[in-house]
Amino acid sequence: MTDDAGASGINETVAPEFDLASDEAAEGAAAAAVPVVMVEYAEVSPAPLEPAKPPAPDPTTKVGRLVANVTDALMALPTYWQTQTTIEGIEAGDLFGLNGALGGTIEINVVATLNRIRKVWDPNDEWPGYGFVRNSQSFPDVRLVGYEAGELVNAFGIELKGWYLLAKEGEPSFRYKVCPEACEEHDLLVIVPWHLSNVLAGQPTIHEPFIGNARWLAEMRNHWWLYQRQSTGTRRLKRPQPLPAPYSPPRSKTSDEGVNDSGRNFGRVSRVNVMNDYLKAMLLTQVSGVDANAWRNFFITNTKAGRAAVSAATLEIELASKKVKRETAEEARDLLSRILDLLRP
């Protein structure tokens, strides 16, 4: 593996003029000194309406234009994507662990790309001196920051998550537990799907991300937990008191918690019914001529049972049903042959 980023996970910045370590150390110490109590909340009857989806950013305001332009830049990430990271020689059975191994690197490269294409999100130079900085220990973990009158200013933030498209869950598996109150009005939750360019090897390739309002998605998660999910018991969650403010220091308590959550499902925003269509579309993404979901099922089947012949036949049916070009089909068959060699005992 070759990598173009550091592995510390803290203060990973591609805008070296921003040195946040001293400020965050002082803020973190102060936050740790504030006692936080987790208070339990139960469902009420009748159930309240779902949280209203926020309106689009107001283009007549400076921040509104910024958020709209950054959203456009995020949607265009696959066009501008560059990475020096290359993966070779991975075992097929290790594929499902790739998101843990490379998720941070994907996020670092997204931040680097955003800073490189600033003319896309700041075409009129309304935010001179600002840059995107990543700190995986804070929420949101990516912030657009700058100095005004000698003070560090957060313009807005992005909670950035990578999603390995061939993961066995068939959906993003991260837990999004942040309190709605810890989100500023325009903060975003962004999920970037990716896979290796040659399935088992190559460079990470990304696809169109999911982009949603961070505060609204946190509100929807809590509403789903209390009023929509299937449960035979009383639905409850715990919330920190005092409630956190946006851009709290790194050591602050900013997360809600599900009660009776033995399956650790609280925070799985992919199950809150706000991104179903997006997930279906992404699983139909072509990876070396075959739907991502077909590759995912193939790896699940062979990893568990070693049913190589059945999977080979399944792939042939897939190639035929999609009327894949001959050259692409041959490439897929070659990949299949290599994968089966790795899977055989």
**Same domain assignment for residues 269 and 304:** no
Judge whether 269 and 217 are in contact, CB under 8 Å. yes
Instruction: From 141, 123, 133, 125, select the one nearest 192 (Cα to Cα).
Output: 141
Asked if the structure places residue 7 within a domain, the reply is no
| pLDDT at res. 34 | 58
- For 323-331, which contacts have Cβ atoms below 8 Å and span 24 or more sequence positions? 324/289, 324/290, 325/289, 328/288, 328/289, 329/289, 331/288, 331/289
305 plus 316 within the same structural domain: yes
Place of tokens 């400020």: 23
Rounded Cα–Cα distance for residues 278 and 141 (Å): 23
Strands 151-164, 188-196: parallel, antiparallel or unpaired by DSSP? parallel
Let me know if residue 95 belongs to a domain: yes
Give the C-alpha separation, 216 to 188, whole Å: 9
User: What would the two tokens of residue 111 be?
Assistant: 């931040």
What is the domain range of residue 307? 286-343
Which residues share a beta bridge with 156?
144
Pairing state of beta strands 286-287 and 37-42?
unpaired
Q: Does a structural domain hold residue 1?
A: no
What 3-state DSSP class applies to 61?
Answer: coil
Same domain, 252 and 315: no
Point out the domain boundary residue: 236, 251, 283. Answer: 283
The DSSP secondary structure of 223-271, one letter per residue, reads HIIIIIS--SS--EEEEEESPPPTT--TTS--B-EESS-TT--TT-GGG
Instruction: Show the low-confidence residues of the chain (pLDDT under 70).
Output: 1-34, 91-93, 303-345
Examine residue 4 and state whether it is found in any structural domain, yes or no. no
Does a structural domain hold residue 270? yes
> 217 and 104 in one domain?
yes
Q: Are 139 and 251 in contact (CB under 8 A)?
A: no
Amino acid at 267: G
Angle of CA points 15, 9, 287, to nearest 5°: 90
CA distances from 154 to 9, 35, 110, 123, 134 (A): 20, 25, 19, 19, 12
Place of tokens 């061939």: 166
Structural domain tally of the chain?
A: 2
The Cβ of residue 48 has, within 10 Å, a number of other Cβ atoms equal to: 11
User: What pLDDT, on a 0 to 100 scale, did the predictor assign at position 41?
Assistant: 86
Same domain for 75 and 27: yes
